Amino acid sequence: MDRITLTGMHFYGHHGCLPEETKTGQPFDVDAVLYVDVHYAGKSDDLAGTIDYSKVYDVIKDIVENHTYKLIEAVAEMTAHTILSQFAVDAVDITVHKPQAPVGGLFDDVSVTVERSRYDNLLPQPGC
């Protein structure tokens, strides 16, 4: 499957479990991998045959900067769900990085990655 990758998108958001995180905010970085067939776009050189990644960027920016979640897992889940609902992609991988997470020690990064497909909801649910 073909991929469009947006790496290292930098935002300032107000996500976290601690009151100071939601009040003061902190930087977040997001990576997105969009699984989409770009065969037509590659042959036609026509933007209509692919995903306008500037619009994907705008969607991610809105979620990270204009909404508040306790967990970066929720930020990643909402981002994946929104991209799948608004763009003609087969699947997405979303990684949300929280480089200033309050972990009480020295570290480079904390991140969560979710992998979601538009076909996930078509799979049989356990116990059904």
The model carries a pTM of 0.91
| pLDDT for the residue 128 | 44
Residues with active-site annotation: 98
d(CA 53, CA 14): 24
Mean pLDDT of the chain: 93
Q: Nearest-CA neighbor of 116 among 83, 87, 92?
A: 92
User: What value does the mean pLDDT take over residues 87-96?
Assistant: 97
pLDDT in tens, 25-75: 999 999 999 999 999 999 999 999 999 999 999 999 999 999 999 999 999
List of domains in the chain: 3-120 (3.30.1130.10)
